[in-house]
Each structure stands twice: as structure tokens, then as C-alpha cells.
Structure 1
């Protein structure tokens, strides 16, 4: 059984759009500033408070972002990201990229730092069904810890497995350390800290099937 595992937010769902527009609802005109501050704080919140549910990670990180940027945030408004996350949109290239993989016989799974109740909203918006989902709630940790990958391997025993994700920190580094074939969806045009971590790179999901199969074949040699 051939599997492609994906990160969800940032890879398939437009995470930056969701954070920015959610922040705009409670702090008009401050969405871009708060998005950049949010991206700096979230990994620390996930590391220092690994037992928090993801909706609470969203709220705590937004509080820290607002404090850093000196933006007033009403206590009740800290929940805005958790309330709006079910409505964050998929990227336009997702439908074709996923459909091409399924047509080629690959099964699809999500390894997400979200909780199951929140990722249910994403699954309704994604245009292609997924056979498996592993959440932070089930794994008991947030990526870049290995728990998501270990839970998936134990539950599904994949014969062929390629991991596809946008986040260098959360996904590419642990997949590299586990020796998994991998494709980096580098939507932001970033340079990797360590180029050896990156096996295949794509700017989006167009042509993803070829990249996935090349990564798998390269690792199998």
C-alpha cells in the first residue's frame, strides 16, 4: 500500500491567510503584523505547552503576538482563530495535485498539529478524501516531535511512504531524521537552513505526483 502523508495547514490549507484575516477581524489593519509575530511565537508555545489543545495554542499565540506588537486584544477575542479555522480555504492547486496522486494509486493521509474537531472543518473543504488522519491530540505531541510519524507507521504499516509538507521546521526536519522520502512544498520561497534536509522541492502541488514518485524511487535505490 502506497501512502503520501501531508501536513495540512500551510501545505493544503492557506494557514497564513487564515491567521491574517482572523487577526484583522479583532484588530483591523494589524493582520500582517500579527501574522508575522504569530509565526515567531507558535513553535515556542507548542514546545513549552505541549498538552494544550490546538485551539488553545492559537489563542495563546495570538495573545503573545498582540503583546509583542502592542495591539490591544479583548479577552474574548483571543478565540477568533479557533472559531474561524474551519473556514480557512485550500490553496487553488490542491484539487489537481491530490486527484493526480489518487488516480495513480497513492493513498492520502494527514499528519496535522491540529485537533480532530478542528481538522474536521478542513476535511470538509479539501476536494479529495483522505484515508487516514493523525492529529496532535492523538499523537500527544506537536511536530517536529516524531509522535505523528510513529503513530501513522504503527497504525498503517505503509509499504511505500512519502511525506509532503510546507514547514521546514515542523515536517521536513523530522522526516529527514526518520529517513523518509519527502517533498518540500516551498510556497514562501525560503532557503533551508540545511540543504541536506531537502530531498525534492516544489513551489506548490502542480506536478506533485512526479515529485513524489521521484523522491520514493530515489530513496529506494
Structure 2
């Protein structure tokens, strides 16, 4: 069994990490704008564009277009988006993991039934390597949108992930509504890890397995 984790919701407190950078940028430019508002506006555009994106469009291009749209919504100059995105990416190593992540991932990796733990994420490979979560997983099991040529929540990324780890069984730990729904609709065994700000899609399938702390994952995975 291979267990993958969502990188930017299940493992990383992305909103806190990225909001700090946006707050610093806003302070330097004298913008009356909170880091959280900037992040939430950008994240909303990211989700829309990732749903529509197809190769050869990459993660960076989607993120840049989303930030340009977010700045336009906020009355800011979209021309600033490329340099601000580069600065945002530079701060990825500082984005915090959720407090339960290190122990939770280690416990899953230590199960006899689990032959590897990895990531399944909308991300470029080099950016994944900058995250604190990368050190906790097998680098050969970083199943990125760049590697798989598809974006969540498209079914393609999930079916290609299954093919990438075959003949092992894939279990995916997800937090966001679209990731939980996407994995379940693709027929993958999914465990929902509840995180602040994330809910289950009310129009999608209900996750049969759910935990509120990553340290509870090992028991659930071992019982699958």
C-alpha cells in the first residue's frame, strides 16, 4: 500500500504561511490590505483556473494568472503579480506544517502494510522540494501535477497516480473539499483529514473515513 498526502492543505498550513508574505508586501507598498484577504482572493482564482487548466499549462502559469486576477479584483496593479509570485515561492520553506504532521506521517510510514508515503499535489517538482513536508516522504513518490500532467480535481490526476504506484494500492489523505471529492469519484480510497477552513463538498460523496488529527491516521490506514 502507498499512502499519499495532499501537500498544501493536509500537511501545510498554507494560508498562514502565504498570508505572512502577502502582509509583508502590502506593508511595504502601503496597501490597506490584510495578508489573509490577499491570499483568499488569490486562492479562489487558483481553484477556478486549476479546474480548467490542461497541459502544457503548468502550475506556475496558473498561479501567476490567478494572482493577476486577484490583484485586479483588489484594485492593485496586475503587472506586479509575476515578481510578487516569485517572492511568495521563495518563502515556501517558511510555511509551517500543521502541528500533528511529523508524528502522523511517521506513524503511517511505520505501518507494516505501507510500503511508501508520498505527496499527491498540484505543484511543480522544484517547489515541492522547498516545502517542509518533502523531507517526510519518499521523494520518488512525489506525484505532482507537473509529473502527472493533470490538475486536481480532474479525474486524470488521480487515475494517473494510481497507475504511477501500480501494482500497489493507493490510499490518499486529503483535506480540501475538491480533493476529497476528486479522489472518491476517481475510485480511490480516501481518508479525510479535517483542517480549519475546509469542509466536505455537500454535493459530493461522503468520505467513509475521517480523522481530526494526523496522529489518528495510522489506525485508520491499518484497518483498511
Q: TM class, shorter-chain normalised? A: 0.7 to 0.9
Partners of 1:196 and 1:146 lie apart in 2 by: 14
Partners of 2:51 and 2:61 lie apart in 1 by: 13
Residues 72, 10 of structure 1: CA spacing in aligned structure 2 closer, same or farther, 3 A cutoff?
A: same
Partner residue in 1 for 2:125: 116
Partner residue in 2 for 1:219: none
2:161 equivalent to 1:152: yes
2:199 equivalent to 1:199: no
2:32 equivalent to 1:25: no
Partner residue in 1 for 2:92: 85
Residues 192, 150 of structure 1: CA spacing in aligned structure 2 closer, same or farther, 3 A cutoff?
A: closer
2:15 equivalent to 1:16: yes
CA positional deviation for 1:12? 0.9
Partners of 1:9 and 1:150 lie apart in 2 by: 20
Partners of 1:46 and 1:9 lie apart in 2 by: 14
CA positional deviation for 1:207? 1.0
SS in 2 for 1:207: helix
The alignment yields a C-alpha RMSD, in angstroms, of: 2.2
SS in 2 for 1:194: coil
Partners of 2:188 and 2:39 lie apart in 1 by: 31
Partners of 1:195 and 1:129 lie apart in 2 by: 29
SS in 1 for 2:23: helix
Partner residue in 2 for 1:38: 42
Partners of 2:204 and 2:182 lie apart in 1 by: 14
Moved more, 30-39 or 150-159: 150-159
Structure 2 segments unaligned to the other structure (5+ residues): 28-32
Tell whether the 8 Å contact from 2:13 to 2:98 is kept in structure 1 after alignment.
yes
Residues 140, 125 of structure 1: CA spacing in aligned structure 2 closer, same or farther, 3 A cutoff?
A: closer
CA positional deviation for 1:149? 2.3
Q: Provide, for residues 120-163 of structure 1, a one-character-per-residue CA deviation record: whole Å limited to 9, x for no partner.
A: 112x5545232511111121111111233223322321443321
Partners of 1:140 and 1:15 lie apart in 2 by: 23
Partners of 1:97 and 1:158 lie apart in 2 by: 25
**TM-score, scaled relative to structure 1:** 0.84
Give aligned pairs, total.
Answer: 212
CA positional deviation for 1:96? 0.5
Runs of 4+ in 1 over 6 A off after TM superposition: none
SS in 1 for 2:8: coil
Residues 92, 164 of structure 1: CA spacing in aligned structure 2 closer, same or farther, 3 A cutoff?
A: same
Q: Provide, for residues 168-220 of structure 1, a one-character-per-residue CA deviation record: whole Å limited to 9, x for no partner.
A: 11x21121112222111120252531363312222231211122234x2xxxx
SS in 1 for 2:3: strand
Structure 1 segments unaligned to the other structure (5+ residues): 217-221
SS in 2 for 1:10: helix
